[in-house]
Amino acid sequence: MKDAAPQTVYLEDYTPFGFTVEKVDLTFRLAPSATRVRSKIRFAPKPDAPGRRFFLHGEDLKPISTRIDGTEITPRHVEGGIELNAPDTPFTFEAEVEIDPAANTALEGLYMSGGMYCTQCEAEGFRKITWYPDRPDVMAPFSVRIEGDMPVMLSNGNPGASGPGFAEWHDPWPKPAYLFALVAGDLRNHPDSFTTMSGKTVDLNIWVRPGDEGKCAFGMEALKKSMAWDEKVYGREYDLDVFNIVAVDDFNMGAMENKGLNIFNSSCVLASPETSTDANFERIEAIIAHEYFHNWTGNRITCRDWFQLCLKEGLTVFRDAEFTADMRSAPVKRIEDVIALRARQFREDNGPLAHPVRPQSFVEINNFYTATVYEKGAELIGMLKTLVGDDAYARALDLYFTRHDGDAATIEDWLKVFEDATGRDLTQFKRWYDEAGTPRLSWSEAFEDGTYTLTFRQHTPPTPGQPDKAPRVIPIAVGLLNPNGDEVQPTTVLEMTEPEQSFTFDGLSAKPVPSILRDFSAPVILETRTDTATRAFLLAHDTDPFNRWQAGRDLALDCLLAMIRDGAAPDTAYLDALHTLIRDDTQDPAFRALALGLPSQDELAQLLHDHGHTPDPQAIWEALETLKQARAEAFHDTATRLHAQYQVEAPYAPDAAQSAARSLANAAMAMLTQLDGGALAQKQFDSADNMTRQLAALSALISAGRGDEATRRFYDQWKHDRLVIDKWFSVQIANATPDTAADTAKALTRHPDFTIRNPNRFRATLGALTMNPAGFHHASGKGYALLADHLIALDPLNPQTTARMCTAFETWRRYDSDRQALIEAELHRILATPGLSGDTTEMITRILG
């Protein structure tokens, strides 16, 4: 529970801390229930600091002693910390506190996971370790001594002295407290090394619990690739003698970029072909890169305050996406990212939780690690790059690194760098950071005397607290095709700045077909919907892979909308166009697999809502089932051939080519399961020697209603492996029918392997239910009740994970009045829980609106 009552913090209230911290020395004497933390911190008053109140954060700390320059003092305990009378000259603050890692179920600060000690300090967890100015603009070099009986004891920076019962670490780079980390346990390592561009050798280690040693090799390769890539593409070299990664089972998020000591949710680093899917491998590679890239974008240059979170997260997500595009397939990565952006960020931006990429206020910063800050934040970097061009982007980044190395910077600093490097005025562009909401873009065309005119209109609907929106700068990448399919205008970027704006193209011999918003050049909703023939034409001829995929996706959406709204039969034009594509072996199998993907239930619900209809989750599910059946029947022969043809004979490799083949073969297998009741899936399950094939087969069998035996066998095979058992939990819920999903989830919450204390297991069960929309939104309300029960149970233990999962309810106003009433009652039930955390209170209050 929080000591401090929740308070709103405002960006405009920012004031610098009145002291600099010259040096931090920490000594930990580890004990599970009574760890002693001694700190010695050298402070210097800033000459011109206003007010200069000496306040140190601290939460749940048992004070043992406090001294200033060696003299014992009694601090005033105030809300959220202590206050002291500080000398006017530099002084040494010393304190000893006791903390209880074993009782720390919130997984913030120092806690225990599977017998090991570990920390999580972002955003405001360091205050649960000792008294400190726990704010990102206070940066200092840290030295750490760990005393305890653990065989491996790690902290940030370079190793110092060590011996029986102790280890010392020195981090020469000034850092904010949120990047502090400590790990101690009986760990095994997977060592390697990397030689940097200037010839320095860096020791690399991935540390894991005994038994997991065999799952480190892939992560290590990803780390080395990331290090080489950041040197080559951004000129960024690593800056310590050692880089450690630790895998931890109990973790609220994906991973954390602590200086020189990244801590990972074990699901985001451990991998083997037998236990991980192709998608897992791709994600792990991206997250390792992401955390590594933070060393420059986040650590060397950090954030002045938490309102600037997108400064490090948007840029680092953008960088990891560039990396994945280089390592794998750029179009595939872009399509996957846009699917995720629409599913998570557009959903957020169009509901009660909408907030700007750089918010103006917050109650609990943990609630702002959102798709908007991360994914939309990355889109803003992508737009900047598109607007200024590759060369200017590279110059601006060089300037950013030289000008701000060692700084705690702001979005203003970031934009100023681009203005100085390019001479552009970015005042209007800045609206993207300050205003929430997804712009809607529509267009119309005219053709006369060889001149083609495209006219665009933009508007952004109101969002909470921001009723009126000004026009944005929108880079619209456009290409034009001749009616014969040739490209007459290669991709060009139109820069829209007005509410309505026209662009002309001269010297055309025939009216062209436009390909608009190529590569998804801006995070907007394209409202203008073209006809089926144009879509089929673009699916066949567009040179832009993203827009080819989009054309297929739009065909599917229109087909499904007609089925849901009007009870129409599956559109044969869509089936024919898709069939032509998937049977064409000159086409990239990855692209064909993506084209076979269907819009999600949630995307359809949002689209129906946007068109003024109340979505019926059951009807959406049924339409998708009907369409899957129709596709299976129409494509039967092709599916049979593809399934056979794209079996991978070579030894398993988690690379782009093999994973494309497997995903096409698995898509074919899923179609054939619609027709054979699961015979082929059963064969695949029986013979699968990698998780990608095994899990796809199990999903298909469960969907076909004959998964019981395979589910049992899967459990017996994998009951020793926590990460695979997470999959076992979620696959059963994800593939359950609307009527049974909540019951399946409920039964699984009673399974001996279920625990609400492990965030991965909680997400694999309750999170999986929220991702089965027809099951979660079952008209009986049983899905809502089950989730609410578990949120109420989890909140006192782990407010952060509870608050995040409340977002399952953020779309509630889309639905019919019965469902709205059911959800509203659950939201009020949660809110009425005595002692509810500030995190969850904030989320539920905002969702209720």
Q: Which is nearer to Zn ion, 168 or 313 (CB)?
A: 313
- The identity of residue 334, as a single letter, is R
Distances (CA, A) of 840 to 347, 586, 785: 19, 51, 17
**Cα angle 781, 351, 833; round to 5:** 50
Q: Which is nearer to ligand PHE, 148 or 254 (CB)?
A: 254
Q: How far is the CB of 37 from ligand PHE (least distance, A)?
A: 20
Q: E-strand spans in 130-241? A: 140-147, 152-155, 158-163, 166-175, 182-185, 188-195, 201-208
Q: Yes or no: say if 16 and 79 are a contact pair by the CB < 8 Å rule.
A: no
Q: Is 377 helix (H, G, I), strand (E, B) or coil?
A: helix
Of 146-185, which residues contact ligand PHE (CB under 6 A)? none
Q: Which is nearer to ligand PHE, 123 or 396 (CB)?
A: 123
Q: How far is the CB of 120 from ligand PHE (least distance, A)?
A: 6
- The residue of the chain with the least Cβ separation from ligand PHE equals 253
Of 241-300, which residues contact ligand PHE (CB under 6 A)? 253, 255-257, 290-291
Q: Yes or no: say if 321 and 333 are a contact pair by the CB < 8 Å rule.
A: yes
Q: Which is nearer to ligand PHE, 139 or 695 (CB)?
A: 139
Q: How far is the CB of 309 from ligand PHE (least distance, A)?
A: 9
Q: Which is nearer to ligand PHE, 680 or 843 (CB)?
A: 843
Q: How far is the CB of 802 from Zn ion (least distance, A)?
A: 22
Other beta carbons within 10 Å of 72: 9
Q: How far is the CB of 324 from ligand PHE (least distance, A)?
A: 15
Q: How far is the CB of 702 from ligand PHE (least distance, A)?
A: 32
Q: How far is the CB of 378 from ligand PHE (least distance, A)?
A: 11
Q: How far is the CB of 270 from ligand PHE (least distance, A)?
A: 17
Q: How far is the CB of 328 from ligand PHE (least distance, A)?
A: 20
Instruction: Give me Rg for the CA atoms of the chain.
Output: 27
Spatial distance between the Cα atoms of 735 and 534, rounded to a whole number of angstroms: 35
Distances (CA, A) of 823 to 782, 783, 790, 814, 834: 10, 10, 15, 11, 19
- The identity of residue 74, as a single letter, is T
Q: Which is nearer to ligand PHE, 672 or 803 (CB)?
A: 803
Tokens for 577? 């166009």
Binds 798, which of ligand PHE, Zn ion, none (CB < 5 to 8 A, cut-off by type)? none
Of 297-316, which residues contact ligand PHE (CB under 6 A)? 313
Spatial distance between the Cα atoms of 252 and 794, rounded to a whole number of angstroms: 13
Using CB under 6 A, pick the residue from 93, 132, 369, 652 that binds ligand PHE: 369
Q: Yes or no: say if 9 and 127 are a contact pair by the CB < 8 Å rule.
A: no
Helix (H) or strand (E) segment spanning residue 516: strand 513-516
Among 456, 410, 465, CA closest to 433: 410
Q: How far is the CB of 616 from ligand PHE (least distance, A)?
A: 37
Binds 285, which of Zn ion, ligand PHE, none (CB < 5 to 8 A, cut-off by type)? none
Q: How far is the CB of 320 from Zn ion (least distance, A)?
A: 8
Tokens for 7? 């308070």
Q: Which is nearer to ligand PHE, 313 or 435 (CB)?
A: 313
Residue with tokens 């557009």, as numbered in its chain? 346
Binds 120, which of ligand PHE, Zn ion, none (CB < 5 to 8 A, cut-off by type)? ligand PHE
Of 312-341, which residues contact ligand PHE (CB under 6 A)? 313
Q: How far is the CB of 289 from Zn ion (least distance, A)?
A: 11
Q: Which is nearer to ligand PHE, 353 or 741 (CB)?
A: 353
Binds 256, which of ligand PHE, Zn ion, none (CB < 5 to 8 A, cut-off by type)? ligand PHE
Q: Which is nearer to ligand PHE, 253 or 620 (CB)?
A: 253
In the complex, the residues that contact Zn ion under the rule CB under 5 A are 313, 316
Q: Which is nearer to ligand PHE, 38 or 290 (CB)?
A: 290
Helix (H) or strand (E) segment spanning residue 443: strand 440-448
Spatial distance between the Cα atoms of 353 and 366, rounded to a whole number of angstroms: 14
Q: Yes or no: say if 673 and 680 are a contact pair by the CB < 8 Å rule.
A: yes
Distances (CA, A) of 714 to 689, 711, 717, 732, 733: 13, 5, 5, 11, 15
Binds 554, which of Zn ion, ligand PHE, none (CB < 5 to 8 A, cut-off by type)? none
Binds 369, which of ligand PHE, Zn ion, none (CB < 5 to 8 A, cut-off by type)? ligand PHE
Among 598, 595, 597, 571, CA closest to 581: 595
Total number of residues binding ligand PHE (CB under 6 A)?
11
Task: Work out whether strand 487-496 and strand 474-481 pair parallel, antiparallel, or are unpaired.
Answer: antiparallel
Catalytic site residue 94?
no
Q: Which is nearer to Zn ion, 126 or 754 (CB)?
A: 126
Q: Which is nearer to Zn ion, 313 or 379 (CB)?
A: 313
Q: Yes or no: say if 464 and 537 are a contact pair by the CB < 8 Å rule.
A: no
- Is 330 exposed, middle or buried, given 0-12, 13-18 or 19+ CB atoms closer than 10 A? middle
Q: How far is the CB of 235 from ligand PHE (least distance, A)?
A: 22
Q: Is 173 helix (H, G, I), strand (E, B) or coil?
A: strand
Spatial distance between the Cα atoms of 562 and 817, rounded to a whole number of angstroms: 24
Residue with tokens 């070579």, as numbered in its chain? 650
Q: Yes or no: say if 37 and 17 are a contact pair by the CB < 8 Å rule.
A: no
- The identity of residue 336, as a single letter, is E
Of 783-842, which residues contact ligand PHE (CB under 6 A)? none
Q: Yes or no: say if 421 and 402 are a contact pair by the CB < 8 Å rule.
A: no
Residue in 291, 322, 348, 364 annotated catalytic: 291
Distances (CA, A) of 524 to 346, 457, 547, 708: 9, 12, 14, 43
Site string for ligand PHE, 89-128 (x = CB under 6 A): -------------------------------x-xx-----
Binds 168, which of ligand PHE, Zn ion, none (CB < 5 to 8 A, cut-off by type)? none
Q: Which is nearer to Zn ion, 333 or 782 (CB)?
A: 333
Burial code of 221-255, b = ≥16 C-beta within 10 A, e = fewer? ebbbbbbebbbeebebebbbebbbbbbbbbbbbbb
- Is 424 exposed, middle or buried, given 0-12, 13-18 or 19+ CB atoms closer than 10 A? middle
Residues pairing with 432 in the sheet: none
Binds 379, which of Zn ion, ligand PHE, none (CB < 5 to 8 A, cut-off by type)? none
Residues designated catalytic: 291
Q: Which positions lie near ligand PHE, rule CB under 6 A? A: 120, 122-123, 253, 255-257, 290-291, 313, 369
